[in-house]
Structure 1
Amino acid sequence: MSRIMSVFIIILFMLPPLTGYAGNNVRFNIPPISYSGPADNVGIGVPISQGWSSTIVHEYICDQNIEKRTIATAKIISLSQPLSLTAHIDGVDYPIYDTGTAGIGWVMGVKDTHATNFTPLNINENQWYPAPGTGPSLPLNIGGSLKIYLVKTNSHLVSGRTRISPNNIATIYCYSEKGELLDSGNISINYVPIEVKATGCRVLGNTDTSISLGEFRTGQFPSVNSTKGNGVANTNISCDQGVHVAVTISDQSNKTNTSNIIGLTPDSKAKGVGIQALYNGKVVTLGPDSTSKNNTNQFELISTTQNNQLIPFQLGFQYIRTGDMKAGSANGLVGITFSYQ
């Protein structure tokens, strides 16, 4: 629903050696983040900015030069549950984790120095060595790198000052051919101040509205797709300058509904009838209740040219016959979701 600049936050790390059973811990040092712009300018999983990065280079991740025990496998596991969201970056799908800041998540990958691709951090142990490109020999040590991206989640960016708190986010384990643990180490992020100046719009007046489509006899719907009723809902929003406003209409009784018919609420008694929303006289196709840019069946409303620009938004509603009818109450619950891009 809003737009966020297509910007990367890439943090590449070559990890220090992990020695013995209690390997060295590694910290991502992310500089302070400052963002100004529309609140939903990029889609879910898109990196927010490439302006914030930090790199540390080390020779090894797992090191057995002293013990002389060869390393057969290396794995990584997250210390927290990911969101139900995924970022697709450079051909790899990464689970997105919550930073605790509205609209911002993070993803992380690790790879051996010679590996072809990064392996994504997941809630289950994910093997990153051996991997395509690493070769068949069993080494005494493994060199590698980590990267972290800050990405957009499925909520608005909210203006204000906040932070990402210091936290352990993952653990690396290296194992022998017999499955014995040789090295381990925690990966953490530092304290990251965040300042967001997000532009968008404000809904004026009540955000919940009840409208009546009238009462009709079943005989007034002679066939499937017959329509009756002329309800109207008016909403006014006030917007900042330079905001591209888009809208999604959703069925709140069935949020996966992407048809053009709003289903009846469970307490409705009527059968064989649904509800349609109309914008500028045309039937609207429904989408998920999400503010994300390019949300399914999202449509454009306006691009603002001045601060405090008043934008009226009107939706019409009608009943439509969908099958064999039965008289009774016919209620629907509709969501109007604005996106600020």
Structure 2
Amino acid sequence: MLMKRKMLCLHKGLLVIGLLLFSSLAHAYCSKSGSGTLNFSPTVNIGRDLPIGTILASAKISTAITCDSRGFTAAGSVDASWRTYPSKNNVDYGASSVTNVRNTTTPGIGMRWDSLSSATGVTVTWTQYPVNNIPVGVGRGLPTPPSISSSTTTTLTDTIYLVKTGAISSGTLSPITLLMDYEGAQSYAQQGLLYSLNTATTPSFQVNTCSVNSNALNVTLPPIYTNTLPFPGDTTGNTSFNITLSCPQTTKLYITFTDTSNPSQTSNILSMKPDSTASGLALQIKQNGQAVSFGPDSNLLGNTSQLLIGDITGNISLPFSVNYIRTTSSPLVAGALTAVASFTLSYQ
């Protein structure tokens, strides 16, 4: 009986040791410090005609990751460090038309995700891949110390950029949640979730445009005599006109004038309509006394002959003028002259 009690005590002691050993192996080897909260501006004003690829908004958050090497020594692992990477539990909405930008659920708005490591000083763009299918072995290294009793901290700074990928309508961005798992750098032994990123506020997008108070402007120049324009390049009959706009939100505005009788021409001479009976002269449009060149009917930024008006808000009147200009050394022919120009606004 005495020996049996000793054996029972021995077995009980072994069982306790086994439980303690299992508990140590299950301990987390990396931990995070940081809120993981992405703070975007609550309202983002967007010029309607911004180029594809323009960054609309961004949010940055730093997360401190502290790791030790217990997992390596306790398990006899070949790993010398940990590696963190976007989780397979993330939701990916496919590649956009912009390099390194993934789609979101909001049409016309994509997401770029950059990660900067304090350990290497190198930035990785996660969104060059599907955020739920990062290639095996790709990730951010998390260095560990050689001693089990010490630890190493690495700061990962994640920046989320919201990028224009297409036409945008006013509305609110859907919430964003991004998960980061970690694993052994050599064994790929997965340890599960390390940290997450979440939007505290989902920004509302306001697409900025202006309303034109007068879509059709009729400008009547004074009658002149042919002898008032004796030489080619002479001008006369300067007449002012205004384009009036109403812009609820501040927007960077550009304008392009197009010669409707000859849309492809880019000079500063406005062609006469074919039904004009006068000849040897034409019209010029001027801004602040300088002749305006004509360009294609396009709202793209950088369009030929596009003029910058500036950042405008509220009701505004854009002043211009128009005048006659002699275009030939041949005798002028008296008669009626009519010309038509259109203007295109670009909101950036």
TM-score normalised according to structure 2 size? 0.45
Going by fraction, where is helix more abundant, 1 or 2? 2
TM-score normalised according to structure 1 size? 0.46
Pick the structure with greater CA Rg. 2
- RCO greater where, 1 or 2, for CA within 8 Å and sep 6 or more? 1
